Structure 1
Amino acid sequence: MSDTDDFLRKILKRSKVIAVVGVSMNTVRPSYYVARYLSLKGYRVIPVNPGHAGKTLFGETVVADLSEISAPVDMVDIFRRSEAVPPIVDQALAHLPTLKTIWMQIGVEHAAAAAKAEAQGIDVIQNRCPKIEYQRLFGELRMGGFATGVISSKL
C-alpha cells in the first residue's frame, strides 16, 4: 500500500503502544526527541536499546530488545541502520496479533524485511518519521519549527 495521507493518519490514530528500537538517552539525538514527542502526544513509548537496558526513559524501563516486552505493541518504530532491520522485524512479528505496523525511520529501508512483515498482514512504512507525519497531518508543523511563516536572517 502506498503511504497516502489517509493511510498514515489511520496508523497514527490506531496506534497506542509504540516500541522505539534504537532510542537514545541523549536528548539531542533524533531518536530521543521523536520518542519524547510521541510520548507527549499520549502514546505509550517503550524504549528499546541494549546499551541502556534497565534505565528509565519517558516513565518506562528501557529493554534490550523486543523479546523483553510483554505488553501488547501496536507499532515498532526502527531507528537502526537498514542492514539491522531483518532481525528486528523477526522479533517484532512475535508481537502478533497486536502488532499492526512496522515503521522505519528516515533513511531506513529494507525491501525483503518489509515484504516478510506485509506477508503477515503488517502495515510497513519506510523512510519516514512518525513525528513529522503526525505534525504534518494533524496541523502541528508550526510547533515543530517548520512553516513558521517567518523569514529572517537574525537569530
Structure 2
Amino acid sequence: MTFENPSREHIKTLLEQAKNVAVVGLSDNPERTSYMVAEVMQKRGYRIIPVNPNAERILGETCYKSLSDIPEPIDIVNVFRRSELCVPIAEEAVKINAKVLWLQLGVINEEAAEIAKAGGLEMIMDRCIKVEDSILQPRRDIQ
C-alpha cells in the first residue's frame, strides 16, 4: 500500500499539541538546513532536542547520542538523515513512545513508515516541518 500523509488539518493538530521535538541529524553548522529549520522551530516555541553523537550542544540544548538517551517524552521525532538510514530511527521512535515520526522534505522510506504506524506513531514524510508549521500556524509567536 502506498503511503499517504495525514491531512493538513490533522498535521496542524499534531503541531499544536507538540512541545518537544527531537531532531535526528541536527548539525551544529548554522549553514546546514537542519540547523536553520531547528532554529526557526525553536524561535516559534518548540523545545528542540538535538540528536547528534558528534556534538555536545546545539542551539543551547544538550545533544544526545540517540533517541533512547533522551530523558523526557518526545512528541515529534524530526529526521534529517538519508532515506536508507530511517528504519532504525523508526524502530527507536517506537521504542521511546514518540507520538510522531516526521521525515523531512526529500526523505522517504516506506518501511520506516510501516514500522512507525504499526508502533502507534503518526507518520509524516517528505515534508518540511518548518514550512508546514509556518503555513498551518502563521500566527505562532516567534520568541
How far did residue 109 of structure 1 move? 0.9
Is the radius of gyration larger for structure 1 or structure 2?
1
> Could you tell me how far apart the structure 2 residues matched to 1:139 and 1:66 are?
29
Alignment of 1:70-81 (within 5 A): 70-81=71-82
1:87 and 2:65 equivalent?
Answer: no
**What do the CA deviations read for 1:1-47 (whole angstroms, capped 9, x no partner)?**
64321011011101110100000111111100111111111111100
Change (3 A) 1:10 1:64: same
> Could you tell me how far apart the structure 2 residues matched to 1:21 and 1:110 are?
15
Report the TM-score when normalising by structure 2. 0.90
Q: Could you tell me which of 42, 46, 50 is aligned with 2:49?
A: 46
> Could you tell me how far apart the structure 1 residues matched to 2:75 and 2:69 are?
15
Moved over 4 A (4+): none
What SS does structure 1 have at the residue aligned with 2:78?
Answer: strand
> Could you tell me how far apart the structure 1 residues matched to 2:92 and 2:7 are?
27
What SS does structure 2 have at the residue aligned with 1:47?
Answer: strand
Alignment of 1:53-68 (within 5 A): 55-68=56-69
1:132 and 2:131 equivalent?
Answer: yes
Unaligned runs of 5+ in 2: none
**What do the CA deviations read for 1:29-87 (whole angstroms, capped 9, x no partner)?**
110011111111111110011121xx222231111111211111111000000000001
Aligned length: 137
Q: Which residue of 1 aligns with 2:22?
A: 19
Percent identity of equivalent pairs: 39
> Could you tell me how far apart the structure 2 residues matched to 1:3 and 1:94 are?
22
CA RMSD of aligned residues (A): 1.5
How far did residue 133 of structure 1 move? 0.6
AA partner of residue 86 (structure 2): V
Q: Which residue of 2 aligns with 1:148?
A: none
Unaligned runs of 5+ in 1: 144-155
Alignment of 1:108-119 (within 5 A): 108-119=107-118
Q: Which residue of 2 aligns with 1:33?
A: 36
How far did residue 104 of structure 1 move? 0.1
> Could you tell me how far apart the structure 2 residues matched to 1:69 and 1:115 are?
24
> Could you tell me how far apart the structure 2 residues matched to 1:138 and 1:14 are?
12
> Could you tell me how far apart the structure 2 residues matched to 1:139 and 1:17 are?
19
What SS does structure 1 have at the residue aligned with 2:54?
Answer: helix
